[in-house]
Amino acid sequence: MDDDAERAFREFVTARSPALMRVAYLLAGGDQHAAEDLLQSALARTFAKWRSIESPEAYVRQAMYRQQVSWWRLAWRRNEMAVAEPPETSGPDEAHSAELKIVVRRALARLTPRQRAVLVLRYFEDLPESTVAAQLGCTVGTVRSTAHRALARLRELSPELRALDDPYTIFGEATA
């Protein structure tokens, strides 16, 4: 790769990494290390094809979604043991909605990977159901039912979220 292309890639990574990391964090169910691995993997794939990519951010996001789905399908991932409490969290969040962020993160971590992906793509990324279905390799009906069940499960896991009827409100405030 020539110097100009490498410089453009570095500028892209510097400018868009925070937003991409938020998406990776949600896809990884609140696991910071898994989110970093997911983003790193997607950026490595992007770097390899940098010259031929028209929309780098869309390419990275698509790579993250696909990588996350492929990780779910690995047999060893199904053998993980769930724990009652998540591991230590990072330092205190100084945003005005810190409490809601914590509640949503804990609840998301207790959803299935497929439910998390549907909620992130549908409500955080604000993608239409047909696009979500295409990216996850399922039907629109599956996306609808999965989203419905995942939102019901979120409200069941965290009664604080019951008052927030609009899923866009949950994800908008939780990621602000």
> What is the rounded CA–CA span in Å between residue 175 and residue 168?
11
87 falls within a domain: no
117 and 65 in a single domain? The answer is: no
What local confidence, expressed as pLDDT, does residue 71 receive?
A: 72
91 falls within a domain: no
Q: Residue 150: is its pLDDT beyond 80?
A: yes
4 falls within a domain: yes
Which pTM does this prediction carry?
0.53
Using one digit for the tens of pLDDT, what is the confidence trace for 68-92? 887 766 645 555 566 677 666 655 5
**Domain final residue, candidates 79, 114, 147:** 79
Q: How far, in Å, are 4, 69, 147 from residue 112 at the CA level?
A: 42, 12, 11
**Stretch 6-33: mean pLDDT, rounded?**
90
Beta carbons within 8 Å of 111's beta carbon, 6+ residues apart: 29, 119, 150, 153, 154
Question: What confidence category does residue 176 fall into, taking pLDDT thresholds of 50, 70 and 90?
Answer: very low
What is the DSSP code string of 164-176?
---HHHHHHHHT-
Q: Residue 60: is its pLDDT beyond 50?
A: yes
86 falls within a domain: no
How many domains does the chain contain in total? 2
106 falls within a domain: yes
Q: Residue 111: is its pLDDT beyond 50?
A: yes
70 and 107 in a single domain? The answer is: no
52 and 116 in a single domain? The answer is: no
Instruction: Give residue 154's domain range.
Output: 96-176
Q: What torsion do the CA atoms of 47, 52, 57, 63 make, to the nearest 10 degrees?
A: -70
Question: Residue 109 belongs to a domain with what CATH number?
Answer: 1.10.10.10
What local confidence, expressed as pLDDT, does residue 93 receive?
A: 47
* 28 phi/psi in degrees, rounded to 5: -85, 5
